[in-house]
Structure 1
Amino acid sequence: MQPAALMIQMGALGDFVLSLRIAAGLRGAGFAQVASLCRAGVASWAVAPGGIDELLDIETGGFHRLFGDAGRLVAIDWPRLPRRFDATINMLGGGPHGLCGAGLAEWTGGRVFDLDPRPRPEHGGHITAQWLDDLSRAGLALEARTPQVLIPDEYRRLACERLAALGQWGTTAPGRVGSGSPSALAPKPDARLAVLHVGSGGAHKCWPIENFLGLSEILRDAGWNVVAVLGPVEMETWPPARKAALAAALPTLSACSLTELAGLCAEAEVYVGNDSGATHLAAAVAARAVAVFGPTSPRRWSPIGRNVRVVGPETGGDMWPSVVEVANTVNAVAAV
């Protein structure tokens, strides 16, 4: 039987996407199957080549029992796994074996590597470098690889349908299965598409909305089609007047599923976003992405991708990059 690995975590979207670097390293180390036990809501889009091979929803299937009194659990209490896992990366924190307790190794059938996902000030490097260093010290040496999730054509088709509803795309049509080409899915207008994701899980990590609007004016004057995206945090926390003002200024998508967002990032000529889970997702699907950083440190938290440019102070700070600086970066990324 081919070796298999399991990653266990409870993080948000950005944390999950960053963990795909571990998944890529596991494949490089010879693990043929990489599964993730996590929240399906943040990970289902990544069940694809270059992402994860299997998703176990931590909120269903009896996995909630892992968070009880681990010392009182007996073998019959543990939910059934689909296979034996030769290695398990446990990112739940604590020890031994985090919230799952000492029975985790017996349950999974292989060796367990406890990995605290929280950043340590003394490390100073990227958070994924810290994780890989910790795993290496524990006896699991993984290469630092750049993940790339090859999303299905269906995701692109869903994105095209959302864009067509905004009048920003041609008539949608089914693509050639396996083509992986945006042009196979729907005819594009002559203008290039820029997607601006204006939100984040933390308001302090958001480039001012006035800057996004200024950027959109520059891009539209240069002939770009520009679409704004509001995430679930903005839909819940922004007052109606603010959401209406954005929609009046720009075609705006909201309530996007992560599969639609992945397709949208892949369809766009350029994606621009804050330090957010959405920007990490854009990087993971190899979109041409511009990540705008301010108070948080890109040295620690920058998205991992083949086509990512970060704009902002290297270690975080009080100064945001200017609109012109971000616009110039967009043009540079688009020219590659």
Structure 2
Amino acid sequence: MAKLLIFHQGALGDFAAVFPAILRLRENFPQIAVLCQSSLGKLACSLNVATQCFPSESAIFASLYSDRPDIRVQHLLRAYDEIILFSYSESLKRTVSQVNKNVCLIFPRPDVSQQIHITAHIFSNLIRCGLLKADEPAPASDRDRRDKNFDSKKIWLHPGSGSKRKNWDISNFKRVGEILASNRKRIEFILGPAEYFMTDMLKKDDPDRIVHRISDLPELLSLLRTAGGFIGNDSGVSHLAAFLGLPTVAVFGPSDPQRWKPSGRSAAAVRPDNLDCRPCFETNSENCDNAECLNRIMPENVVRAFYRVLK
């Protein structure tokens, strides 16, 4: 039975973007292990994306960045028919290749000059490495992975992201919630540990507003699966929600939806048209002063986009 090992150092958004490719690879490699952050590996296994996971935080894997890997790591690497390294490190590839010659190095993200979606980038490189055939169709992210008895009226709103630069103003999320609530939707907010400070902003004008302070990925996964839809910024949580099959709308400002739009059975990105500038998140260290890419997005437009993906 063919076995594949995937090494990935990215955070939730980058890692979730690889899920469709891993599922396609499962057709050729029934056993796929992931070497990544412990929490992400457990997530992949719980979703039946991967069959086994190894925590990259483990001290023995630090030896991958030395001239000679730990003997236990060598035994692990030899156990796989193919190895994929999502990394920019040629030295890492050389080290792994000393133990197992069947190594494919893929840059985790397409070059910033390329207008190519992350999923297309990954698949084109898997074809380059001979792990997929060029005539194989792109994956259809059409599976609904929510709980069987999910609440169709419950809508998650997530006003955070991995960077404050990408965050649509929280007042806009409140307004989206008000509009949806007027249409008999049940609105609940979710916040990660780095976003707990937003709790007071959400509760100040409405103490009854429901806010979930998420502490880990299992809790996030469990909650996401219970709802009828999701609206958030360009974030890892948005990518996960879309993969799970929730009707998902992601608000894009300085980042590029052509490269990072979430993939799923019913997902959309909202960004203003006819801007005088190009997405700058990956090329500039700061947003421009007026940040029209975010400020010109109206809550009503986001709600309209949500009802389109909800159908």
Both structures adopt the same fold (TM-score exceeding 0.5): yes
1:28-78: CA deviations, max 9, x gaps? Answer: 4x11111110001233222145511111111126222223x2x2x166263
Tell me if 1:102 matches 2:94: yes
1:240-292: CA deviations, max 9, x gaps? Answer: 74365377362100024222222322211111111000001101111111111
1:150-203: CA deviations, max 9, x gaps? Answer: 76xxxx7xxxxxxxxxxxxxxxxxxxxxxx5126xxxx6xx8111101100011
Q: 2:287 matched to which residue of 1?
A: none
- Tell me the secondary structure at the aligned position of residue 43 of structure 2: helix
Q: 1:309 matched to which residue of 2?
A: 268
Tell me if 1:145 matches 2:139: yes
Q: 1:93 matched to which residue of 2?
A: 88
Paired residues of 2:60 and 2:70 also in contact (CA < 8 A): no
Q: 1:59 matched to which residue of 2?
A: 57
**Which amino acid in 2 is paired with 1:231?**
G
- Tell me the secondary structure at the aligned position of residue 217 of structure 1: helix
Q: 1 or 2, which has the higher strand percentage? A: 2
2:38 equivalent among 40, 43, 50: 40
Distance 1:242 1:250 in 2: 11
Q: Which runs of 5+ in 1 are unaligned?
A: 157-179
Q: Which runs of 5+ in 2 are unaligned?
A: 281-291
Distance 1:275 1:140 in 2: 30
1:136 equivalent among 116, 124, 127: 127
Distance 1:74 1:215 in 2: 52
Distance 2:227 2:198 in 1: 28
Distance 1:131-1:33 versus aligned 2 partners, 3 A rule: same
Q: 1:181 matched to which residue of 2?
A: 148
Tell me if 1:78 matches 2:73: yes
How many percent identity over aligned positions?
29
TM-score by length of 1: 0.77
- Tell me the secondary structure at the aligned position of residue 332 of structure 1: helix
**Which amino acid in 2 is paired with 1:326?**
V
**Which amino acid in 2 is paired with 1:319?**
C
Paired residues of 1:215 and 1:324 also in contact (CA < 8 A): yes
Number of residue pairs the alignment of both structures matches: 291
- Tell me the secondary structure at the aligned position of residue 284 of structure 1: helix
CA RMSD of aligned residues (A): 2.7
Quick check: 318-327 or 115-124, which moved more?
115-124
- Tell me the secondary structure at the aligned position of residue 123 of structure 1: coil
After TM superposition, give the deviation of residue 131 of structure 1 in Å: 2.5
Q: 1:324 matched to which residue of 2?
A: 300
